[in-house]
């Protein structure tokens, strides 16, 4: 029988509506009855006792807010009667006796990946074309126009055919109403030409608006991020365009590459426009070198690799009131499985860890790791407050509309993606991951900035949970989109890869969903399954400037 409510943690004093609740209705949980006193939409919260102003509100066993005004038992929690609140936290070193999940089912499994000289294994094989400064974006676009179609990487969309249909209707004398009611042909995407290099998944162009005009710290961080992409196991080599006079100098990029891979051996071609001269000379030289690099990169083929070589990035965006009940805990179980298999996991979005700091400090493997997490969280929070913002402003209008009315409430569910394993390292943006296990990475909660950062730190596949739907992808890492509810999976099937609404529907446990996700990841990592973001060519890339972005 499908439940209409759920209590997430035994210590919680609210229930989550799994379906719309009406006034006068009585709901039951573990033998107790709770009368509903007002309409409570699905995903929103019901008070199981009367709250007076200042009373603590608990979800996931942690403080997620305080009552601003009186909330009667059976009433709805809203932004009008609840305000963000979290407990204070201290650095800690409580030794964990982590109970790793059983992984016998996957011990002998492998994935088919691209092996690199530094021992890492990629789940894809891309060539990058990168500008060191926004001044080179046009030249990047020129190279893209010259390369992508003839090499077989351009996807042909039939939306142009829909435009032709509309033109033909207008020329035939059809009215505006006819146009608006027209049933146009379905749009499909396919490669216009076969790939010239079958072992290369694509040539990706990382245009951005940085590299000059900002602070020197911005330039250093950008070079670190770009070095993370160049040294990434999903990347075969890169062509870099520099103007010459920008803050993000070639020497900074080279230093950052050396930090990440002292024995760097991939093909890397760096061209400086102010030295070369004309655009034609620059583009011609870039084309020759890039083509030669592709010929070299095409010699690499997929070979078996242990699952311990996988690095998962964990992300959420367009979250809803079900995200922290279905998709995020299921991903958390997947994370625990991969850690138990010797793999690596990256949990980011520091504004969305607000409220669970103590738990994460307690899970850190030593006091230094806990201290670094605490320091980065406090510095980030203070920088937001200094410009008149704060972590409490993190939930978006869509989050709030779907039941995530405080940042702590959102964070407590978002943190579930990290599972239960010990925190082995805490990284500041754009540092690379170097240790297997669960890593915390300081990034904003912004979907694309955070995904961009996780991949720059080494994530080869990203698990991206969503309750409202978002098409976010990445140029070089497969972004697997997981819906928190079945209605979304049915409404937006073109962008959703996995439905975890089965947990809400009572068809599957969190553990079963997590195991299913890991099986899917192995297929994706082996090139056997194309995710929706890759199919749509969703190549989102936004470097984080170390200002305040929540």
Q: Measure the CA–CA gap between 247 and 259, rounded to whole angstroms.
A: 19
In this prediction, residues 195-205 reach a mean pLDDT of 97
pLDDT, mean over the chain: 93
- Between β-strands 303-306 and 110-115, what pairing exists: parallel, antiparallel or unpaired? antiparallel
Range 160-189 average pLDDT: 88
pLDDT band per the 50, 70, 90 thresholds, residue 94: low
* Element holding 226 (H helix, E strand): helix 216-230
Query: Has residue 404 got a pLDDT over 70?
Result: yes
- Does position 90 have pLDDT exceeding 80, yes or no? no
Distance of alpha carbon 34 from alpha carbon 329, whole angstroms: 26
pLDDT of 173 strictly over 70? yes
H or E, element range at 535 = helix 532-535
Q: Report the distance separating Cα 518 and Cα 335, nearest Å.
A: 9
Number of C-beta neighbours around residue 392 at 10 A:
20
Q: Quickly state the pLDDT bin for 354 (edges 50, 70, 90).
A: confident
Contacts of 145 (CB under 8 A, 6+ apart): none
Whether the predicted pLDDT of 53 surpasses 70: yes
Tell me the C-alpha distance between 250 and 253, whole Å.
Answer: 5
- The residues near 118 (Cβ < 8 Å, ≥ 6 apart) are 231, 261, 263, 264, 265
pLDDT band at 91 (very low <50, low <70, confident <90, very high): low
- pLDDT over 90 (residue 302): yes
- The pLDDT score that the predictor gives to residue 327 is 96
Give residue 113's pLDDT: 98
Arithmetic mean of pLDDT, 235-239: 98
Count of C-beta atoms within a 10 Å radius of residue 290: 24
Structure confidence at residue 475 (pLDDT): 98
pLDDT for 410: 83
pLDDT at residue 245 tops 90 = yes
pLDDT for 316 beyond 70 = yes
Which alpha helices (H) appear in 195-319, and where do they start and end?
A: 216-230, 250-260, 273-276, 279-297
Q: How confident is the model at residue 550 (pLDDT cuts 50, 70, 90)?
A: low
pLDDT band at 213 (very low <50, low <70, confident <90, very high): confident
Task: For residues 371 and 369, give the distance between their C-alpha atoms in angstroms, rounded to a whole number.
Answer: 5
Say yes or no to pLDDT of 268 above 80: yes
pLDDT grade, residue 214 (50/70/90)? confident
Output the pLDDT for position 117: 96
| pLDDT for res 437 | 98
Count of beta carbons in the 10 Å neighbourhood of residue 377: 22
Instruction: Tell me how far apart the alpha carbons of residues 180 and 38 are, in angstroms, rounded to a whole number.
Output: 41
DSSP 417: G
Q: What single DSSP character describes residue 187?
A: P
Q: For 386-398, what is the mean pLDDT?
A: 75
Beta-carbon count within 10 A of 301 CB? 11
Check residue 158 and give its pLDDT. Answer: 67
Quote the CA–CA distance of 164 and 141 in Å, as a whole number.
26
Check residues 269 and 320 and name the one with the higher pLDDT: 269
Statement: residue 135 has pLDDT above 80: yes
The yes-or-no verdict on residue 72 having pLDDT over 60 is yes
For residue 202, what pLDDT is reported? 96
Reply yes or no on whether the pLDDT at 182 is more than 70.
yes
| Structure confidence at residue 204 (pLDDT) | 98
Positive/negative CA dihedral, 513, 515, 520, 521: positive
- Per-residue pLDDT at 174 exceeds 80: yes
Among the listed residues 428, 403, 409, the one whose alpha carbon sits nearest the alpha carbon of residue 355? 409
With residue 236 as reference, give the H or E element that holds it: strand 235-242
Phi, psi of 379 (to 5 degrees): -65, -40
Confidence of residue 190 (pLDDT cuts 50, 70, 90): low
pLDDT at 341: 98
Residue pair 155/532 in contact by the 8 Å Cβ criterion = no
Q: What is the mean pLDDT of residues 178-189?
A: 83
Q: Which pLDDT score is estimated for 30?
A: 86
Q: In this model, does residue 92 exceed pLDDT 70? A: no
Does the structure show a pLDDT above 70 at 27?
Answer: yes
Mean pLDDT confidence for 285-312: 98
* Sheet strands (E) in 14-99: 14-17, 26-29, 32-35, 45-47, 56-59, 62-67, 82-83
3-state secondary structure of 408: helix
Helix axes 510-525, 327-340, angle to 10 degrees: 60
Residues in Cβ contact with 535 at an 8 Å cutoff, skipping those fewer than 6 apart: 189
pLDDT tens-digit series, residues 424-475: 999 999 999 999 999 999 999 999 999 999 999 999 999 999 999 999 999 9
**Residue 93 pLDDT exceeds 60:** no
Tokens, residue 36: 């509903």
Q: What is the C-alpha to C-alpha distance for residues 364 and 289, in angstroms, rounded to an integer? A: 46
Q: Rounded to two decimals, what is the model's pTM?
A: 0.92
pLDDT band at 61; cut points 50, 70, 90: confident
The C-alpha angle with vertex 447 and arms to 64 and 500, in degrees rounded to 5, equals: 70
Nearest Cα residue to 414 out of 338, 476, 490, 331: 331
Mean pLDDT within 72-78: 93
* Residue 462 β-bridge partners: 313, 479
Task: Say how many residues make up the chain.
Answer: 550
- Under the banding of pLDDT at 50, 70 and 90, the label for residue 383 is confident
For 30-46, what is each residue's pLDDT tens digit?
889 999 999 999 989 99
Q: Is the pLDDT of residue 1 over 60?
A: no
The three-point CA angle 390-394-395 to 5° equals: 145
CA distance 319 to 445: 11
Within 374-510, strands assigned E span 423-428, 437-442, 461-466, 478-483, 498-499
| Higher per-residue pLDDT: 545 or 110 | 110
Q: Where are the beta strands (DSSP E) in 281-430?
A: 303-306, 311-316, 344-347, 423-428
């Amino acid at each position: 029988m499908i439940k209409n409510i759920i209590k997430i943690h035994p210590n919680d004093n609210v229930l989550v509506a799994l379906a719309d609740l009406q006034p006068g209705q009585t709901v039951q949980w573990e033998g107790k009855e709770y009368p509903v006193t007002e309409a409570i939409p699905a995903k929103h919260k019901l008070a199981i006792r009367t709250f007076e102003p200042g009373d603590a509100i608990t979800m996931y066993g942690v403080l997620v807010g305080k009552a601003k005004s009186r909330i009667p038992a059976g009433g709805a929690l809203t932004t009008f009667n609840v305000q963000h609140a979290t407990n204070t936290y201290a650095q800690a070193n409580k030794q964990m006796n982590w109970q790793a999940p059983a992984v016998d089912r996957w011990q002998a499994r492998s994935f088919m990946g691209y092996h690199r000289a530094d021992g890492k294994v990629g789940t894809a094989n891309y060539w990058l074309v990168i500008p060191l400064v926004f001044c080179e974006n046009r030249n990047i676009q020129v190279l893209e126009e010259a390369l992508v179609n003839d090499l077989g990487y351009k996807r042909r969309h039939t939306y142009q055919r829909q435009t032709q249909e509309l033109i033909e209707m207008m020329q035939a004398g059809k009215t505006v109403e006819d146009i608006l009611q027209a049933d146009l042909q379905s749009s499909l995407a396919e490669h216009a030409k076969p790939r010239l290099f079958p072992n290369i998944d694509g040539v990706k162009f990382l245009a951005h608006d940085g590299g000059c005009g900002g602070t020197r710290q911005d330039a250093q961080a950008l070079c670190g991020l770009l070095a993370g992409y160049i040294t990434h196991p999903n990347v075969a080599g890169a062509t870099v365009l520099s103007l010459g006079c920008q803050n993000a100098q070639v020497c900074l990029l080279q230093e950052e590459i050396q930090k990440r891979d002292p024995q760097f051996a991939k093909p890397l071609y760096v061209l400086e426009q102010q030295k070369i001269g004309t655009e034609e000379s620059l583009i011609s030289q870039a084309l020759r070198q890039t083509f030669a690099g592709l010929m070299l990169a095409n010699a690499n083929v997929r070979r078996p690799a242990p699952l311990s070589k996988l690095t998962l990035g964990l992300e959420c965006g367009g979250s809803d009131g079900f995200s922290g009940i279905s998709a995020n805990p299921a991903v958390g179980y997947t994370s625990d499985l991969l850690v138990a298999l010797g793999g690596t996991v990256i949990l980011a979005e520091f504004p969305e860890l607000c409220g669970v700091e103590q738990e994460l400090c307690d899970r850190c493997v030593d006091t230094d790791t806990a201290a670094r997490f605490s320091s980065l969280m406090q510095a980030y929070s203070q920088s937001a407050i200094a410009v008149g913002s704060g972590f409490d402003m993190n939930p978006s209008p869509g989050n709030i509309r779907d039941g995530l009315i405080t940042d702590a409430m959102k964070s407590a569910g978002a943190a579930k993606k990290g599972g239960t394993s010990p925190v082995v390292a805490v990284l500041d943006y754009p540092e690379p991951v170097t240790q297997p296990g669960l890593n915390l990475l300081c990034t904003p909660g912004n979907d694309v900035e955070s995904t961009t950062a996780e991949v720059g730190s080494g994530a080869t596949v990203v698990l991206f949970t969503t309750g409202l739907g978002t098409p976010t992808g990445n140029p070089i890492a497969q972004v697997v989109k997981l819906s928190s509810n079945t209605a979304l999976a049915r409404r937006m099937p073109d962008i959703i890869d996995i439905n975890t609404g089965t947990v809400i529907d009572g068809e599957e446990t969190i553990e079963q969903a997590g195991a299913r996700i890991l099986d899917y990841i192995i297929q994706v990592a082996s090139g056997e399954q194309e995710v929706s973001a890759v199919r749509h060519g969703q190549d989102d890339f936004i470097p984080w400037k170390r200002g305040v972005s929540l």
